[in-house]
Amino acid sequence: MQHYQLFIDGGRCEGSGGQILHTENPATGDTWASFACADPRDVNRAVAAARRALEDPAWRDLTQTQRGKLLFRLAELVEAHAEELGRLETTDSGKLLAETLSQTQYVGDFYRYYAGLADKIEGSVLPIDKPDMHVFTKREPVGVVAAVVPWNAQMFLTATKLGPALAAGCTVVLKASEIAPIPMLEFASLINQAGFPPGVVSVITGDAENCAIPLTRHPDVDRIAFTGGPETARHVVRNSAESFAVTSLELGGKSPVLVFDDADLDGAANGLIAGNFGASGQSCVAGSRALIQRTVFEELIDKITEKAARISVGDPLEATTHVGPLCTSAQIDKIKVTLNKAIEQGAEIRLGGAPLECSGNYMAPTLVACPHRDIETLKVEMFGPVMSLLAFDTEDEAIALANDTPYGLASGIFTRDVARAHRVSSRLRAGICWINTYRAISPIAPFGGFNQSGYGREAGIEAVLDYTRTKTVWINTSGEPMANPFVMR
């Protein structure tokens, strides 16, 4: 059995408390690796190393272009090790190998994007209203960053935090999930290979009490970038209250996909399949609420059912598999409870509805026809391959149903009417709106939510600015000494 250590201040180490956890392969249920866990002493060491690196000339005095070159090198290394990292992620989390490979390769573009932005971080000269004053602004690193990343898209979500933070000149303590952390602990090796000075990036993992809470509560952490669930996020916000750390939150979702009767129904069916069953439904942007105009409701359900019935569920390492296992057995339990309640409320299971009878955490792709908006599956984020289908009659009703959620991360619209697409997208309360497509991402496009889906944005130009603080500099150019402040002119 392979064992993985923490990565602190440029070196590998065990946790100070000696705690070791084991991780299971979700496809088989077999324990396959162990890993060291951090305790508060390790958190203190990692943060102290990040604080020291922030002021070390080896990092502090690099030009912005030099920082960019290190990120370019990291991009190359991630791409070169994509197969190794992808296989580790598949083994540890159950995600399809095809997805982990392609996602890890694409992650290189995120680091490359921020490498290019590193020397585009600019200040400005102000047309100040005072004579003999030259006033300008400059952007400086916000400081030590605590980046908290979940297991379900860890290479991608790490890049959306680490890329802009390093481009801005920050230092980072990356906290990987204690569920399936092995790819991140292995990724840490690339930090040294890329040439980043010790302490600029540390990678730790562990449970909430010993690792996550001490990190997000640490007085020397200047910024927190968190991806996870709303309940945990509330604790993060409370933890940051004493230090006033700048915080961004990318949280869950219960994303609606609206299909109007003028849409290309085959395209809509493909979008719904990809949006909800891709990544086995373990995606914060999963389009798990299909809102379909009543005039095409049954026709579209037939198309979705036909396509979903052909989905191959199985070994995530096999190229022919479409849907792999869920990462944890707890997800299966939650889905079963939620489906049972939905059935009691009058919902009809059109496809699937139960775990597969085999070893591993496999759930059959499931379609739930909902007779009204209060069905449980329309409200609960299940993080699994369950799609709820609900009919609407009018455009206004569709918008009202779409916005009937405390979340607001993603949304989708399928229609051939361009005017309707603009009209409806402007009224949806969601940070992302895909039209006639779904789950498209890019390092160039900002990503984030409204309401209980969090605040702040990842990816795009504005993300790198979120890791800086503005400093205003005033210079008296008159050549005369400063006047007596008590003599008014």
Q: Work out the average pLDDT over 354-375.
A: 94
Q: Active-site residue numbers?
A: 250
The domains found in the chain, sorted by start residue, are: 2-251 (3.40.605.10), 256-435 (3.40.309.10)
pLDDT mean across residues, the chain: 96
Residue 280 has pLDDT above 80, yes or no: yes
Residue 488 has pLDDT above 80, yes or no: no
Task: Give the C-alpha distances (Å, rounded to integers) separating 275 from 103, 278, 384, 419.
Answer: 16, 6, 12, 24
Q: What is the pLDDT of residue 145?
A: 98
Give the distance from CA 341 to its chain's centroid. 29
Query: What gap in Å lies between CA 331 and CA 317, rounded to an integer?
Result: 21
Q: What is the pLDDT of residue 460?
A: 95
Q: Work out the average pLDDT over 400-412.
A: 97
How many residues does the structure list for the chain? 489
Q: Work out the average pLDDT over 182-187.
A: 97
Strand partners, 174: 147, 203
**202 SS3 class:** strand
Which class for 61: exposed (0-12), middle (13-18), buried (19 or more C-beta within 10 A)? exposed
Report the percent of the chain where pLDDT is more than 90.
Answer: 96
Q: Work out the average pLDDT over 432-443.
A: 96
Q: Give tens-digit pLDDT for 231-255.
A: 999 999 999 998 999 999 999 999 9
Q: From the CA atom positions of the chain, what is the Rg in Å?
A: 24
Which class for 306: exposed (0-12), middle (13-18), buried (19 or more C-beta within 10 A)? exposed
Q: Give tens-digit pLDDT for 298-345.
A: 999 999 999 999 999 999 999 999 999 999 999 999 999 999 999 999
Task: Please provide residue 139's backbone torsions phi and psi, each rounded to the nearest 5 degrees.
Answer: -105, 125
Neighbours of 279 (CB within 10 A): 25
Report the percent of the chain where pLDDT is more than 70.
Answer: 100
Q: Work out the average pLDDT over 164-175.
A: 98
Q: What is the pLDDT of residue 489?
A: 62
Q: Work out the average pLDDT over 118-137.
A: 96
* Band of residue 485 on the pLDDT scale cut at 50, 70, 90: confident
Q: If residue 125 lies in a helix (H) or strand (E), which one and from where to where? A: strand 124-126
Q: Work out the average pLDDT over 28-48.
A: 97
Q: What is the pLDDT of residue 81?
A: 97
Q: What is the pLDDT of residue 357?
A: 87
Q: pTM of the predicted model, to two decimals?
A: 0.95
C-beta separation of 453 from 120 below 8 A = no
Task: Please provide residue 97's backbone torsions phi and psi, each rounded to the nearest 5 degrees.
Answer: -60, -40
**424 SS3 class:** helix
Q: What is the pLDDT of residue 171?
A: 98
Evaluated on CA atoms 475, 480, 482, 485, the torsion sign reads: negative
Q: Give tens-digit pLDDT for 454-472.
A: 999 999 999 999 999 999 9
